[in-house]
Amino acid sequence: MPDFAELFAPVFFGCVGFGAFVYGKKTARWKPLVIGVTLMVYPYFIANALLLYSVGTALCISLFVFSD
- Give residue-wise pLDDT tens across range 33-45: 999 999 999 999 9
Does 16 have pLDDT greater than 90?
Answer: yes
Instruction: Return the biggest CA–CA distance within the chain.
Output: 41
Distance of CA 67 to the CA centre of its chain: 15
Mean pLDDT (whole number) for 14-30: 95
Mean pLDDT (whole number) for 6-10: 89
Closest CA to 35 of 61, 5, 9: 61
Q: Where are the domains of the chain?
A: 4-65
Mean pLDDT of the chain: 92
